């Protein structure tokens, strides 16, 4: 919402500076986004007289002017067709910045003729669109005066962000009212002289069918001549970014901005039959709107229609067919009230933002419909002539709706301290409310037009007994519905800066831990990953269809994605990480270690997951280690185990299941779980076909950890199981076995470890060799004696048990 | 028999002349070995009369000792020379690079979330979570944002296509639905923060369709805006690790709070950069207010008994203000160069004793 200082002062009697006004606006909730003064940029431009104008010797379309801007003749070259000796215009000398085209004037030579400055067009000074010629000033304009001063442009423009619940501040008058309430001046009453009485009635009838429009006031004006609106009005509209069109249209636009009272004007000659306010009828109602676009009103939209069909979307935009233009002689002025929700939906449905919509959807003051038509009609007659008819109205009375509801809020003054923390005496609170025209009222008055006055009286009296006030809320404040709203009104006028900072009660002692087990597990996993050389990425939660397809497709698709690339909620974190890895490879990275902790969005829910991707070199080439080593599935395994461990998974109990699934290399991937249905993680090399679609090199490895599958630890006990280090040194023995090709090393290890669970405390595969005699695995076994050292017999017996246990898996001791 | 003193001169000369340890050992055998010259002299002592022995004994012993000492000294010298010679030949170019242990990093958003958890834990706030694919009721209706409300249009909602009738699920446009879920699930009094991903169909230089927010909620019997102000001041002072944090509360409008306040934080210019702290100017950092009575009632609580405040704040923006990134889009690119520069080390865990910044 934009307005100028002079405009505001028409509604507010104040001596406050623009800075004070801006600060107060922000303090009371009308955030000032910008204050600009167009005069600032135009200060150096002067009123100048063209002394002489000669043809340029080298160019037909150029003239050489001698110009006096108060400091003697200056020679300039000018291309404007209207430049001529004797005229007055606006001159900018060398060194002046010209805001329109955005350059600084210098001393130039144009086709061999020196030129020291320029005479400006309206567009060059950002004062309008006109660029057909230079600005022409009246003959009495004083040469040498600053043009900004001469044209009275020294008028700061405020740009205020009006909150969605403040329809009253969508007009300059409402903003002035709020400033006056904040103590910044006195509100001026807009003049409200009645129009002369008339016997004439508007020639068209208006009928309202259905809900959404409750009242439709109108007056006709006959015999107008629709020319340009007066200079002051044009300037005001231009200052806030509106384009002047004609006197009649400018007046309606002016009242929309001035009083937050949207109006509409119809050319009576173009109306066909009477007006009906009704619901849209689809294609039959297709019409061309004033913005030169076609709309097809639906059954949800309120339309204004005549005999031919829709001629406007109620409260949003009018139709081109009945619009006023320079030929208009008779017109109808409408001041109606449309339901905010219906208007908002219509605006959303047709993707149409207009000044009218922005006001109706917030809630136009329902009391403004009748008087809303008077001042505009008076102004139209003043500038376009004609005579007004008597007003006419069509209205319906919905049981609960506007404009007949009397808005009363029960308020207990102690709520100010309870909700806002502000201590303010009742009288002071009451005084602030009075400034907003919120008046305490008495029960009798409230019950006057109530359907059940006795019940109403009982209700209101009960409120009053609790020490509450019954507040009558003015018609322009539909946002004030309850005590909390009243508290906000008092608090914002009193000043939010006076809210006392008050510590929250703090329980005695050291703060208690608050993180859940899952949160702690996630934090540990994240920092472990970082410790192990992985970089945490955050990638989009949405991916493309193509990216989701290899993972079974997305279970959740966006109805309104911003692009095809960000359309489906990801079923896996891999596509996002793969795309990030690809970008890194393209930037020349030779080794990419990325991980992400986030959700997979599956049909059964949002699954917290940690995924990592390793591409390129695990170790770079080096003078000691030789050639670079690429990542392999064992790297992925190492990360998976480390991260599972960090997240509190029972890694010692995990079984390893060959082949992690369709997205993985069948022979170079595995799942880790507490059972085939309790999978905690997958890792290994990704399937070459998947890698092709992900645009990553073959051999890329990854791991996925399913955080919600990790079981909670059995014990929350802090104390550890009792333990004393054994006094005797452990003994190690090595065994080498020929094993069947399909025997997993882990199976051999588990068998060996199980040979004597008491004395075998550790096993480790330390060699693997595939020769012509078959596959050989060598395992180091650590034996821990307890009370006394092992005897040779005991060691022989243990060895025998180990060999037997291994044999059960088909392993033969190498001899 | 040679005089002991002569032998001392003879052998000390030989010891001095021994070029290496082997030659020295040969000298030792010649002088002090079983058949050695000095050993022979010692053997003569037994045959001497006591008086002679009294005189000759010390002489011979002194000679033996002198030669032994000379050998020992020479041995030490030769060993030292040998070590020096070996060491002179043993040289590593230690300027050669060692194998690098790769160092990873924690994303700034995660780091800031950890910082928030730590700060708010001290004030008694737990961390709550909720779904990102939300239903219309939790994301809008319960928060007093009816369907035609202008605030809905303002939020640029992503809708999830279900192919079914009725209000479609949405990607949560804010973390506020977690307020609703918490109030419905738990008994007040409540103190929670809820950090997480949120979505708006908005994409330009300063907006991304996905970003992070943190929600705060306190529900109790006697909570007012003064507590809100204190909580935000305390939080921002702790977060930015500065005592000169100045807040400005401005009346504002959110459908789910009443009264509502937009919160600006003062900034000052340091080294050509705007930093949080001081009050040379104001920047908007969060939205807040007293939870609207309708919202409390929507969660099944009695608004005459329970009241409290809520606030919401962009986490990515907090990270940018504290750690100086200037491009939001880079947060979601996964560029290793950016992550190495702006990311955090594994040990940068925020703690109250060591500080919540890194």
Which of B213, B224, B237, B343 best tests the A interface by mutation, with the highest count of A CBs <10 A?
Answer: B224
Token pair listed for A632: 């392999």
Helices A517-531/A633-646 angle, 10° precision: 140
Give the number of other CB atoms < 10 A from CB of residue A621: 11
Q: Mean pLDDT over residues B54-80, rounded?
A: 91
Q: pLDDT per residue over B189-215, tens digit each?
A: 999 999 999 999 887 778 899 999 999
At B167, the pLDDT band (50, 70, 90 cuts) reads confident
Q: Which of A363, A380, A123 is nearest to A253 (CA)?
A: A380
Q: Which long-range contacts (CB under 8 A, 24 or more apart) does B280-283 make?
A: B282/B248, B283/B321
**Average pLDDT, stretch B114-126?**
95
Residue with tokens 């689809």: A282
Query: Quick check: A542 contacting B, CB < 8 Å?
Result: yes
Distance between CA atoms of residues B137 and A783, nearest Å: 64
Integer Cα distance of B47 and B353 in angstroms: 86
Tokens 């997240």 correspond to what residue? A647
Q: What angle do CA A730, A733, A738 make, to 5 degrees?
A: 150
At residue A343, the pLDDT reads 93
Positions in chain A whose pLDDT score sits under 50: 399-404
CB atoms within 10 A of CB A431: 13
In this predicted structure, what is the pLDDT of residue A399? 42
Residue with tokens 């949207």: A262
Q: Are strands A113-116 and A275-279 parallel, antiparallel or unpaired?
A: unpaired
ω before B189 within 30° of 0 (cis)?
yes
Please answer whether residues B272 and B152 qualify as being in contact, where contact means their C-beta atoms are separated by less than 8 angstroms: no
CB contact under 8 A, B253 and A492: no
User: Domains of chain A, with CATH numbers?
Assistant: 2-37+155-187 (3.30.56.10), 40-150 (2.40.50.140), 206-395 (3.50.40.10), 408-498 (3.30.56.10), 517-709 (3.30.930.10), 731-813 (3.30.70.380)
* Closest-approach residue (CA) in chain B for A343: B148
* B337 contacts in chain A (CB < 8 Å): 587
- Contact criterion met (CB < 8 Å) for B123 and A417: no
Q: For residue A402, what pLDDT is reported? A: 42
| Partner A contacted by B137 (CB < 8 A) | no
Cα-based angle A62, A67, A69 (whole degrees, multiple of 5): 140
* Nearest CB to B99 within list A482, A515, A622: A622
Contacts of A26 in chain B (CB under 8 A): 250
- Phi first, then psi, for residue A254 (nearest 5°) are -60, -45
pLDDT for the residue numbered A397: 64
Which residues 224-283 of chain B have a CB within 8 Å of chain A? 224-227, 229-231, 233-234, 248-253, 258-262
pLDDT at position A210 is 84
Q: Which pLDDT score, from 0 to 100, does residue B174 have?
A: 95
Q: What is the ipTM of this complex?
A: 0.89
Question: Are A267 and A325 spatial neighbours (Cβ–Cβ below 8 Å)?
Answer: yes
Partners of A594 on chain B (C-beta within 8 Å) are 334, 336
Omega into A129 within 30° of 0, i.e. cis?
A: no
Q: What is the pTM for the complete model shown?
A: 0.86
Are B127 and A515 within 8 A, CB to CB? yes
User: For position A811, what pLDDT does the model report?
Assistant: 94
Q: Report the C-alpha gap between A559 and A548 in whole angstroms.
A: 16
Q: What is the number of CB-based contacts under 8 A between chain A and chain B?
A: 266
Asked if the model's pLDDT at residue B51 lies above 70, the reply is yes
């Amino acid at each position: 919402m934009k307005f100028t200082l002079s405009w505001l002062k028409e509604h507010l009697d104040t001596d406050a500076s623009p800075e004070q006004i801006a600060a107060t606006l922000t303090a009371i909730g009308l955030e000032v986004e910008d204050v600009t003064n167009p005069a600032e940029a135009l200060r150096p431009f002067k009123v100048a007289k063209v002394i002489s104008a000669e043809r340029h010797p080298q160019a037909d379309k150029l003239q050489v002017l001698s110009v006096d801007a108060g400091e003697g003749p200056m020679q300039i070259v000018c291309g404007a067709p209207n430049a001529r000796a004797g005229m007055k215009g606006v001159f900018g000398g060398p060194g002046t910045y010209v805001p329109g085209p955005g350059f600084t004037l210098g001393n130039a030579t144009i086709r061999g003729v020196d030129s020291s400055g320029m005479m400006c067009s309206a567009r060059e000074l950002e004062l309008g669109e006109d660029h057909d010629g230079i600005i022409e000033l009246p003959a009495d304009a004083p040469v040498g005066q600053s043009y900004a001063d001469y044209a009275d442009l020294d008028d700061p423009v405020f740009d205020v962000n009006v909150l969605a619940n403040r329809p009253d501040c969508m007009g300059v008058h409402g903003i002035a009212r709020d400033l006056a309430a904040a103590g910044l001046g006195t509100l001026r009453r807009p003049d409200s002289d009645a129009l002369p009485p008339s016997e004439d009635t508007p020639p068209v009838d208006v009928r309202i069918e259905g809900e959404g429009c409750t009242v439709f006031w109108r007056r006709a004006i006959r015999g107008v001549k629709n020319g340009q609106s007066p200079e002051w009005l044009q300037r005001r509209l231009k200052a806030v970014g509106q384009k002047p069109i004609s006197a009649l249209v400018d007046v309606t636009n002016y009242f929309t901005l001035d009083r937050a009272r949207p109006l509409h004007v119809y050319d009576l000659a173009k109306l066909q039959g009477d007006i009906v306010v009704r619901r849209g009828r689809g294609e039959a109602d297709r019409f061309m709107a004033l913005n030169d676009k076609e709309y097809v009103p639906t059954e949800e939209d309120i339309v204004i229609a005549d005999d031919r069909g829709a001629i406007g979307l109620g409260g949003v935009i009018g139709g081109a067919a009945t619009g006023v233009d320079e030929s208009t002689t008779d017109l109808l002025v409408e001041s109606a009230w449309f339901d905010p929700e219906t208007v908002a939906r219509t605006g959303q449905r047709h993707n149409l933002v207009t000044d009218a919509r922005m006001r109706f959807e917030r809630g136009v003051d329902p009391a403004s419909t009748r008087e809303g038509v008077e001042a505009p009609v008076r102004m139209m007659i003043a500038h376009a002539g004609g005579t007004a008819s008597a007003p006419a109205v069509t209205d319906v009375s919905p049981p609960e709706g506007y404009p007949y509801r009397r808005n009363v809020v029960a308020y207990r003054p102690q709520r100010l301290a309870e909700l806002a923390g502000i201590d303010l005496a009742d009288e002071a609170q009451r005084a602030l409310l009075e400034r907003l025209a919120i008046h305490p009222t008495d029960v009798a008055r409230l019950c006057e037009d109530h359907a059940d006055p006795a019940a109403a009286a009982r209700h209101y009296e009960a409120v009053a007994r609790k020490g509450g006030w019954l507040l009558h809320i003015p018609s322009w404040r539909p946002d004030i519905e309850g005590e909390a709203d009243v508290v906000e009104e008092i608090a914002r006028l009193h000043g939010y800066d006076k809210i006392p900072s008050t510590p929250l009660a703090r329980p005695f002692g050291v703060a208690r831990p608050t993180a859940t087990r899952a949160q702690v597990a996630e934090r540990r996993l994240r920092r472990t990953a970082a410790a192990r050389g992985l970089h945490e990425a955050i990638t989009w939660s949405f991916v493309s269809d193509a990216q989701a397809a290899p993972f079974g497709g997305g279970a959740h698709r966006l109805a309104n994605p911003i692009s095809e690339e960000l359309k489906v909620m990801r079923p896996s974190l891999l596509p996002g990480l793969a795309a990030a890895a690809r970008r890194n490879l393209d930037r020349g990275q030779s080794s990419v270690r990325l991980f992400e902790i986030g959700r997979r969005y599956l049909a059964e829910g949002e699954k917290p997951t940690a995924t990592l991707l390793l591409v390129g070199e695990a170790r770079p080439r080096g003078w000691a280690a030789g050639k670079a080593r690429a990542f392999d599935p064992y790297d992925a395994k190492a990360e998976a185990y480390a991260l599972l461990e960090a997240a509190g998974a029972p890694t010692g109990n995990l079984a390893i299941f060959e082949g992690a699934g369709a997205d993985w290399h069948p022979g170079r991937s595995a799942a880790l779980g507490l059972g085939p249905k309790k999978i905690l993680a997958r890792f290994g090399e990704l399937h070459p076909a998947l890698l092709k679609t992900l645009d990553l090199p073959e051999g890329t490895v990854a791991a996925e950890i399913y955080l919600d599958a990790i079981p909670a630890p059995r014990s929350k006990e802090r104390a550890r199981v009792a333990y004393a280090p054994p006094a005797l040194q452990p003994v190690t023995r090595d065994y080498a076995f020929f094993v069947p090709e399909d025997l997993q090393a882990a199976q051999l290890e588990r068998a060996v470890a199980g040979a004597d669970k008491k004395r075998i405390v550790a096993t480790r595969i330390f060699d693997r060799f595939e020769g012509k005699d078959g596959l050989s695995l060598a395992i180091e076994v650590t034996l821990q004696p307890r009370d006394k050292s092992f005897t040779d017999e005991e060691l022989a017996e243990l060895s025998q048990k180990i060999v037997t246990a291994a044999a059960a898996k088909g392993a033969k001791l190498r001899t | 028999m040679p005089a002991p003193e002569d032998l001392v001169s003879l052998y000390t000369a030989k010891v001095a002349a021994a070029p290496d340890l082997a030659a020295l050992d040969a000298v030792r055998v010649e002088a002090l070995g079983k058949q050695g010259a000095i050993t022979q002299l010692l053997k003569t002592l037994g045959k001497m009369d006591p008086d002679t022995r009294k005189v000759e004994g010390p002489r011979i012993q002194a000679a033996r000792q002198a030669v032994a000492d000379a050998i020992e000294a020479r041995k030490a010298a030769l060993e030292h020379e040998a070590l020096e010679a070996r060491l002179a030949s043993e040289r590593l170019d230690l300027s050669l690079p060692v194998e690098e242990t790769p160092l990873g990093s924690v994303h700034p958003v995660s780091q800031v979330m950890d910082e928030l958890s730590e700060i708010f834990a001290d004030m008694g706030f737990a961390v709550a979570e909720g779904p990102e694919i939300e239903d219309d009721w939790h994301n809008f209706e319960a928060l007093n944002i009816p369907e035609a409300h202008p605030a809905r249009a303002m939020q640029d909602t992503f809708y999830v296509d279900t192919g079914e009738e009725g209000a479609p699920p949405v990607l949560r446009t804010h973390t506020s639905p977690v307020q609703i879920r918490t109030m419905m699930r738990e008994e007040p009094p409540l103190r929670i923060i809820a950090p997480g991903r949120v979505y708006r169909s908005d994409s330009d230089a300063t907006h991304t369709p996905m970003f992070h927010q943190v929600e705060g909620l306190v529900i109790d019997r006697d909570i007012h805006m003064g507590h809100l102000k204190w909580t935000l001041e305390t939080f921002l002072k702790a977060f930015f690790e500065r005592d000169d944090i100045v807040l400005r509360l401005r009346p504002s409008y959110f459908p789910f709070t009443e009264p509502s306040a937009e919160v600006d934080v003062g900034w000052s210019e340091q080294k050509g950069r705007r930093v949080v702290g001081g009050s040379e100017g104001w920047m908007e950092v969060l939205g807040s207010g007293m939870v609207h009575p309708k919202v409390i009632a929507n969660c099944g609580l009695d608004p005459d008994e329970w009241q409290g405040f809520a606030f919401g704040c962009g986490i990515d923006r907090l990270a940018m203000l504290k750690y100086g990134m200037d491009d939001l889009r880079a947060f979601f690119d996964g560029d290793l160069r950016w992550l190495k520069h702006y990311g955090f080390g594994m040990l940068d865990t925020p703690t109250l004793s060591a500080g919540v910044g890194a």
